[in-house]
Chain A
Amino acid sequence: MSRPAQRRPEYHKINRDLFVLTYGALVAQLCKDYEKDEDVNQYLDKMGYGIGTRLVEDFLARSCVGRCHSYSEIADIIAQVAFKMYLGITPSVTCNNSSRNEFSLILDKNPLVEFVEELPAGRSSLCYCNLLCGIIRGALEMVHLAADVTFLQDRLKGDSVTEIGITFLKKLDEKKYRRKK
């Protein structure tokens, strides 16, 4: 009768809301502390990076994904497994160049902005969800993949979709980071 699995649905939503609301409070606090949008964006990216470096272990433990053989496989896993697992959404993936190292994740829904109607006044360059870019970047680096991750489009800024661009840079030297299994 009182097993957590049978918890009423409202409480499950509260759990997801907790992360989204806490994130909102964080962005609000950073806006108070930093005048320039670029500084807030950078800070969010940096915090995301810290989270990503640890989140990747949690992800690998939960998902048991095998070794990937291409950047496009990795982009698919980020969109279809990781985003689904942590945020409950599945962005679509497109490849942007013929060398197949630039990808976009198109977010149709974005739970992080559920309670955000528009950017605060005077904050038109704020990348509200920049934490996500840092998380992806940090996680990839932990598996020896250097990448640039930025927002290419943002619905909060008036674009029609929210788009995260991932550009894989050359592979980090594996020898340095090889760990015993």
Chain B
Amino acid sequence: MADAVLFEFLHTEMVAELWAQGPDPGPGGRKMNLSVLEGMGFRVGQALGERLPQETLAFREELDVLRFLCRDLWVAVFQKQMDGQRTHHQGTYVLQDSSFPLLVPMASGLQYLEEAPKFLAFTCGLLRGTLSTLGIESSVTASTAALPTCKFQVVIQQP
């Protein structure tokens, strides 16, 4: 779908440029740049959340919200569903995508594993932002063992 391609190219360019801006390639600088991308994803996630159909906002349980992220949000944003969702313990969920569209063009396997976090930061923010609009504060991190599979860990802050 042409729209998705534009977003994918824009995302790739953002990762390349906002990463290059870092003044200090050490661990401190690295964190800062990922937080820039994550922050942008958060803003977009919030705005997307506000545009969702009204009925999606009436979730009864946390699990419904997570299912919504894995199915409806993922389809709206990436034209596919996530593959799996597990609950680790109360408030912590792991969402898995075995073929994450923003990682697919990069490589498969272990090549570029180090670069992968840069390509996941925006989406982590996106998830966090959408949850925020649904009234849920959370922290979202992502990891990948081999491209293009990745896991998003959502930790819901208890009030």
Contact = CB atoms under 8 A, between A and B. Distances in A.
Contacts of B76: 7, 11, 14-15
B49 to A, nearest CB: 10
Contact of A22 (B7, B21, B72): B7
Interface residues of A, number: 34
Contact of A18 (B2, B7, B9): B7
Given A11-B75, A15-B76, A17-B51, A47 B6 contact: no
Given A10-B53, A14-B48, A85 B2 contact: yes
A18 B16 CA distance: 19
Contact of A29 (B3, B18, B47, B77): B18
B40 interface: yes
Q: Which of B1, B9, B40 has the most CB of A within 10 A?
A: B9
A130 B129 CA distance: 27
A159 interface: no
B75 A86 contact: no
A167 to B, nearest CB: 24
Contact of B48 (A4, A21, A46, A47): A21
A119 interface: no
Contact of B51 (A13, A43, A62, A131): A13
Nearest to A15: B3
A18 B44 contact: yes
B107 interface: no
B3 A16 contact: yes
A85 to B, nearest CB: 5
A19 B53 contact: no
Given A25-B40, A29-B40, A47-B13, A19 B48 contact: no
B13 to A, nearest CB: 5
Contacts of B53: 8, 10
Interface string A29-58: 100010000000001001100110011001
B114 interface: no
Contacts of B52: 10, 14
A46 B13 CA distance: 10
A54 B9 contact: yes
A85 B18 CA distance: 28
B17 A21 contact: no
A15 B11 CA distance: 14
A13 B1 CA distance: 13
Interface in B1-60: 1-7, 9-11, 13-14, 16-18, 21, 36, 39-40, 43-44, 47-48, 51-53
6 contacts: A14-B77, A26-B40, A28-B43, A55-B6, A86-B3, A115-B47
Interface of A: 4, 7-8, 10-11, 13-19, 21-23, 25-26, 28-29, 33, 43, 46-47, 50-51, 54-55, 58, 62, 85-87, 115, 131
Given A19-B7, A22-B40, 7 more contacts: A10-B52, A22-B7, A25-B44, A26-B14, A43-B17, A54-B9, A85-B2
Interface of B: 1-7, 9-11, 13-14, 16-18, 21, 36, 39-40, 43-44, 47-48, 51-53, 72, 75-77, 79-80, 122
